[in-house]
Amino acid sequence: MKNSLVSTFLFTIFLIIAAINLVQSQNKDIDLLRDINLKRNMRLDGGFKVVTNTVIPVGVGAPVGMFATGLLTKDATLRNNGIEAGGSFILATCLTYGLKWTVRRPRPYDTYPDLQAVVKESSYSFPSGHTSAAFATATSISLMYPKWYVIAPSFTWACLAGYSRMHLGAHYPSDVATGIVIGVGSALLMHQGAKWYQKKYGVN
């Protein structure tokens, strides 16, 4: 279990470093973003803004709801699942903003004025916080409830959230890809860590 936790951590770090190196070669990144943003169906702008705006409420609400329900019903498993999901969200957010302030990549619409920014953000671009939060939430819930009717809608929502960031002109594809790695990696780390902790200390 401990080896699995270390392996997951190291693999996540490796992918993040690879993504940072990818940021240095920006030509393909901006070409793909232009294809997505400038050739988009503008009638979908409103829908994608709604998807984007669900990320934080779902990312915070899901673990809080599980934890609170677990406390009220004296369901230790549900309570612990809420802690695990919340931990995944917090870890993904901390890693994301740590990288944002380390890399300090400007938003694509600031560097390329031809892009159409449907939404504007005050933070740095790399990596995508909405994407990392969405994938941390989707992965965490899917690991705890591995049923197709949980996994399919969870990852459909997360993928739409990630795509919405490019559609709306807020992020490069590499920002979104790195957000996926951070989100999935954070959830895997928390899941492995929770299993290790419960096994070691016999916590229910």
Nearest Cα neighbor of 172 from 17, 11, 12, 24 is: 24
* Band of residue 196 on the pLDDT scale cut at 50, 70, 90: confident
Interatomic CA distance for residues 188 and 204, integer angstroms: 20
Interatomic CA distance for residues 125 and 23, integer angstroms: 11
pLDDT tens across 33-51, in order? Answer: 999 999 999 999 999 999 9
Domains of the chain by range and CATH?
Answer: 2-195 (1.20.144)
Average pLDDT along the chain: 90
Interatomic CA distance for residues 92 and 189, integer angstroms: 10
Residue 80, pLDDT > 90, answer yes
Q: Note the pLDDT of residue 195.
A: 84
Q: What angle do CA 22, 25, 31 make, to 5 degrees?
A: 105
* Band of residue 185 on the pLDDT scale cut at 50, 70, 90: very high
